[in-house]
């Protein structure tokens, strides 16, 4: 049997939150095709506390609870004792923002661990010694890192060859060339007087490509000029 392109192990205190996102659409089809494997690991299974607790009060008197290093280290050690991992990712809002370039790189890897943040945060020693990468999906705070893990996983798997029927479609998505995607249209060509641009009906491939690039550039300048600054 062909080896899956990627294996993603997700360590979380709420694995039930992730069953839904991975049971439908492109991700499920990729799993069914044998292109990807996703395993959910309940962090509480690695706790030695009789209540299966994985958090504790922070030193220094800060409010909130902090994820402890001991169950996390056991979970990671359990996985890394069985295989080598290319990246061990921690999802946290105070990290570099995830982008398409990073998704492209991660989609070329074979084994990935994603540790979902929770509570007030995680013992800093986890970040200093156990993970290899930290990612945020935006400048806001969620109740936990499970949604971020689902976002990262979905963005990786859809890039795998065979995951979607038209691979070229994924390569023309927004952000692939630091540009937002151009406007798209489908039938009917005229709806209540709102018409599809004539160039798209012309059949002239070169002129259509030129139009698409121009529109993508215009859209990016208007909505995300920072992407163009990154190219300088």
Across the chain, mean pLDDT equals 93
User: How many whole angstroms separate alpha carbon 127 and alpha carbon 138?
Assistant: 19
In the block, which residue shows the tokens 């049997």? 1
Contact (CB, 8 A) for 89 and 33? no
DSSP count for the chain of H helices, then E strands: 8, 10
Residue 176's pLDDT band, with cuts at 50, 70 and 90, is confident
Higher pLDDT, 173 or 152: 152
User: How many whole angstroms separate alpha carbon 130 and alpha carbon 124?
Assistant: 10
Reported as type and span, the H/E element at residue 121 is strand 121-122
pLDDT of 4 higher than 60? yes
pLDDT at 170: 61
Domains and CATH numbers, the chain: 6-157 (3.40.1280.10), 174-229 (1.10.1270.20)
Region 50-69: what's the mean pLDDT? 94
Reported as type and span, the H/E element at residue 30 is helix 25-32
> Which has the closest alpha carbon to 178: 126, 122, 227?
227
Contact (CB, 8 A) for 36 and 66? no
In the block, which residue shows the tokens 């084994």? 111
pLDDT at 171: 58
pLDDT at 232: 59
Beta bridge partners of 114: 10, 89
Specify the pTM. 0.90
Contact (CB, 8 A) for 117 and 90? yes
pLDDT at 229: 86
Q: How confident is the model over 91-103, as pLDDT tens digits?
A: 999 999 999 999 9
In the block, which residue shows the tokens 């059949």? 203
Task: Tell me what percent of the residues of the chain surpass a pLDDT of 70.
Answer: 94
Q: How confident is the model over 194-221, as pLDDT tens digits?
A: 999 999 999 999 999 999 999 999 999 9
CB atoms within 10 A of CB 217: 14
pLDDT of 167 higher than 70? no
What phi and psi values does residue 84 have, to the nearest 5 degrees?
-85, 145
pLDDT at 231: 62
Beta bridge partners of 55: 67
β-strand pairing of 87-91 with 6-12: unpaired
Q: How confident is the model over 102-150, as pLDDT tens digits?
A: 999 999 999 999 999 988 899 999 999 999 999 999 999 999 999 999 9
């Amino acid at each position: 049997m062909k080896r899956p392109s990627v294996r993603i192990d997700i360590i979380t205190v709420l694995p039930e939150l992730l069953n839904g996102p991975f049971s439908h659409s492109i991700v499920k089809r990729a799993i069914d095709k044998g292109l990807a494997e996703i395993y959910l690991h309940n962090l509480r299974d690695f706790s030695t506390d009789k209540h299966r607790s994985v958090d504790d009060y922070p030193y220094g008197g800060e409010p909130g609870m902090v994820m402890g290093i001991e169950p996390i280290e056991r979970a990671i050690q359990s996985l890394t004792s069985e295989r080598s991992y290319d990246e061990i990712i921690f999802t946290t809002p105070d990290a570099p923002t995830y982008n398409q370039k990073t998704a492209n790189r991660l989609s070329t890897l074979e084994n990935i661990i994603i540790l979902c943040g929770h509570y007030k945060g995680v013992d800093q020693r986890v970040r200093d010694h156990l993970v290899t990468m930290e990612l945020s999906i935006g400048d806001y705070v969620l109740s936990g890192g499970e949604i971020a893990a689902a976002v990262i996983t979905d963005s990786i798997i859809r890039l795998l060859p065979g995951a979607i029927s038209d691979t070229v479609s994924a390569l023309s998505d927004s952000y692939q060339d630091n540009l937002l995607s151009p406007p798209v249209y489908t039938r009917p060509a005229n709806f209540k007087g709102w018409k599809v641009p004539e160039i798209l009906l012309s059949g002239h491939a070169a002129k259509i490509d030129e139009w698409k690039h121009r529109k993508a550039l215009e859209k990016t300048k208007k909505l995300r000029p920072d992407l163009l600054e990154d190219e300088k």
